Amino acid sequence: MSFAHIAALTIHDVKNSLSSIASAAESHGDTPTVQAIFNISDTLTRLLVFYRSEHELLRLNLNSHAPEDLIFELAANKYGQSDIEINSELNQAPVLWVYDEMLIRMILVNALQNASRYAKSRIVISAKECSGYLEMSVHDDGPGFSDTVLEEDYSNIPASQNGTGLGLLLAKRIAALHVNNNQQGRIELSNQNGGLFRLIIPA
Q: Where are the domains of the chain?
A: 3-54, 63-202
pLDDT at residue 160, rounded to an integer: 43
pLDDT tens-digit series, residues 151-190:
766 655 544 444 446 788 899 999 999 999 889 999 999 9
Residues with Cβ within 8 Å of 75's Cβ and at least 6 positions away in sequence, in order, are 86, 87, 88, 125
Superfamily for the 63-202 domain: Histidine kinase-like ATPase, C-terminal domain (3.30.565.10)
The pTM (predicted TM-score) of the whole model is 0.81
**What's the mean pLDDT when you consider all of the chain?**
87
pLDDT at residue 4, rounded to an integer: 66
Helix (H, G, I), strand (E, B) or coil at 22: helix
Q: How confident is the model at residue 33 (pLDDT cuts 50, 70, 90)?
A: confident
pLDDT at residue 9, rounded to an integer: 81
**118, 193 contact by CB (below 8 A):** no
Mean pLDDT along residues 56-81: 89
Q: What is the DSSP letter of 163?
A: B
